[in-house]
Amino acid sequence: MDKLPFTRPSIDEETIQRVVAVLRSGWLASGPRVLEFEAALSAYVGGRPVRAMTSATAGLEIALRVAGVGPGDEVITPALSWCATANVVLRIGARPVFVDVDLDTRNLLLDQVEAAIGPRTRALLPVHFSGLPVDQDRLYGIARSHGLRVVEDAAHAIGSAWRGKKIGSFGDLVCFSFHPNKNITTGEGGAIVTNTVEEAALVEQHRFNGVVKPAPGEFDVLFPGMKANLSDISAAIGLGQLPKLEGFNQRRRELVARYFERWKVAPPLRLPAHGDAGHSWHMFAPLLPLESLTITRQEFIERMAARGISVGVHYPAIHLLSVYRDLGWREGQFPNAERIGRETVTLPLFPAMQDVDVDRVVEAANAVIAETRRVAVAS
């Protein structure tokens, strides 16, 4: 039987032809396709200005700079995310201040956010984990009452909605990722949704060497910017993907509904929070009951691989990575993030998956857990 990956992009023939057309056009760098992709993204988020770039990592760094965050400032962010979320804070000379996440939604705990705000806090950097939106009313309420900027890490959340409003269509600065694992891809890529055309112009400077052209024929550099502009090759992929996004996310929701249905009674793993129709299900990542198993997570992954199913890990707790330990963060500070970091397994979920693939995964996981369950010993 074919090996089932845990994720795989869906690229159709029409998209391949769009890329071929760019290659034939002679213009491969940022050009007409990038402008077209940005316009399409902007329309998708209700007309707010959008600028594309080479990754969400670059986007988050630029968004923090545009928000005026710099050396000595603090940024509040969850202890559970992809490492880039916190790395960008360090890269601009600011300090990430971690808070714990909810065990089931994996989203940051807003009570802890409020408690973590101090005189140096400049911005909040929430993550809509696996595409489940953070409580935006409360998050922005906190930001407003403390005069803080918000940079949303929406790498998982294109197509997600909060109370019927798309993520990115409201709020402050919102960053999407188009890495091949995400809900739509450009190969590699990302975008920032901004508030104003002035802010979008600042993003353009940051993503292209700090260059400005005040008038025709004039050229200047205001600061040493990054080189993070998207290519027309990538934008062509994005133009093929964006019209498919709603369908992709609908299929993700159907597949997840099947996982929940198959594990309706006494699931052998701890399932993530169900959310509502605004959940875009970037991934489906239950927690393994490691305490009651005789195997490690790595052994679980190997036993699933032996059954033809690949399983991922998203993510280890950020504060326990060496670079953050070196800054003083320790075990025991964020018990939920640490437990998720130890027990989480990402099961296959991508739009081209069949219903029977879900059944295969469920049966394999059930079997591996059943054959490795610790036998209770009477004392």
Ligand X SMILES: *Cc1c(COP(=O)(O)O)cnc(C)c1O
- The residues that touch ligand X, with contacts defined as CB under 6 A, are 55-57, 81-82, 84-85, 127, 153, 155-156, 177, 179, 190
Distance separating alpha carbons of residues 211 and 223, to the nearest angstrom: 8
Q: What 8-state DSSP symbol labels residue 295?
A: S
CB-count exposure of residue 56 (10 Å: 0-12, 13-18, 19+) = buried
| Closer CB to ligand X, 128 or 303, in the complex | 128
* Residue 172 Cβ vs ligand X, minimum distance, rounded to whole Å: 17
Cα–Cα distances in angstroms (integers) from residue 129 to residues 57, 101, 211, 305, in the given order: 16, 10, 35, 25
| Closer CB to ligand X, 15 or 177, in the complex | 177
| Closer CB to ligand X, 52 or 161, in the complex | 52
* Residue 55 Cβ vs ligand X, minimum distance, rounded to whole Å: 3
* Residue 266 Cβ vs ligand X, minimum distance, rounded to whole Å: 31
Q: Which two tokens stand for residue 181?
A: 């694992």
Distance separating alpha carbons of residues 377 and 379, to the nearest angstrom: 6
Contact between 230 and 189 (Cβ < 8 Å): yes
* Residue 155 Cβ vs ligand X, minimum distance, rounded to whole Å: 3
DSSP 59-114: HHHHHHHHTT--TT-EEEEESSS-THHHHHHHHTT-EEEEE-B-TTT-PBPHHHHH
How far from each other are the two terminal CA atoms of the chain, in whole angstroms?
44
* Residue 185 Cβ vs ligand X, minimum distance, rounded to whole Å: 9
Strand partners, 191: 52, 176
Q: Which two tokens stand for residue 147?
A: 């005069």
* Residue 181 Cβ vs ligand X, minimum distance, rounded to whole Å: 7
Distance separating alpha carbons of residues 46 and 21, to the nearest angstrom: 29
Q: Give φ, ψ of 167 to 5 degrees.
A: -60, 130
Distance separating alpha carbons of residues 286 and 307, to the nearest angstrom: 19
| Closer CB to ligand X, 57 or 344, in the complex | 57
* Residue 106 Cβ vs ligand X, minimum distance, rounded to whole Å: 10
| Closer CB to ligand X, 55 or 229, in the complex | 55
* CA angle at 155 for the pair 153 and 161, rounded to the nearest 5°: 85
Cα–Cα distances in angstroms (integers) from residue 363 to residues 6, 252, 268, 290, 358, in the given order: 16, 19, 11, 18, 9
Give every CB contact of residue 35 below 8 A, 6+ residues apart in sequence: none
Q: What residues are annotated to the active site? A: 182
